[in-house]
Amino acid sequence: MLACKLPRCATFSPKSVGAAPRSRTRVHVVRAQGINQNIRKEEQKVVDFVNAEEIKGKKVMCRCWKSGTFPECDGAHAKHNKETGDNVGPLIIEKKE
């Protein structure tokens, strides 16, 4: 039996000589999936405005779409990161006095 170590190479044995080679190619199908699982899904686009003049100290904004207080961060990204190995964190806006 002759074998090739390349991923697209067919394996031939005396029984398969003259027959069409079997493909050993694997196909992975990836489906696009939304990031926002449940926040204001009735809206065509979720947009929030923050008036920088009204910020006192700092404002912590969610970027993981998991916060129960969206658009403000409640730390939900920590659980998400632990479960998935991701590394998302909040956007912190700080007003310097």
Answer yes or no: is pLDDT of 72 > 60.
yes
Give dist(CA 17, CA 65) in Å, integer: 56
Q: What predicted TM-score, i.e. pTM, was given to this entire model?
A: 0.63
Q: Which one from 5, 45, 82, 96 is the annotated catalytic residue?
A: 45
At 18 the pLDDT is 61
At 28 the pLDDT is 78
Domains recognised in the chain with CATH numbers: 52-94 (3.40.5.90)
Interval 6-53: pLDDT, tens: 555 555 555 555 666 666 788 878 887 888 999 999 999 999 999 988
| 45 catalytic residue (yes or no) | yes
Mean pLDDT, rounded, for 66-94: 96
Give dist(CA 34, CA 18) in Å, integer: 48
Mean pLDDT, rounded, for 51-63: 92
Mean residue pLDDT across the chain? 84
**End-to-end C-alpha distance for the chain, whole angstroms:** 78
Answer yes or no: is pLDDT of 65 > 60.
yes
Q: With contact defined as beta carbons under 8 Å apart, do 93 and 52 qualify?
A: yes
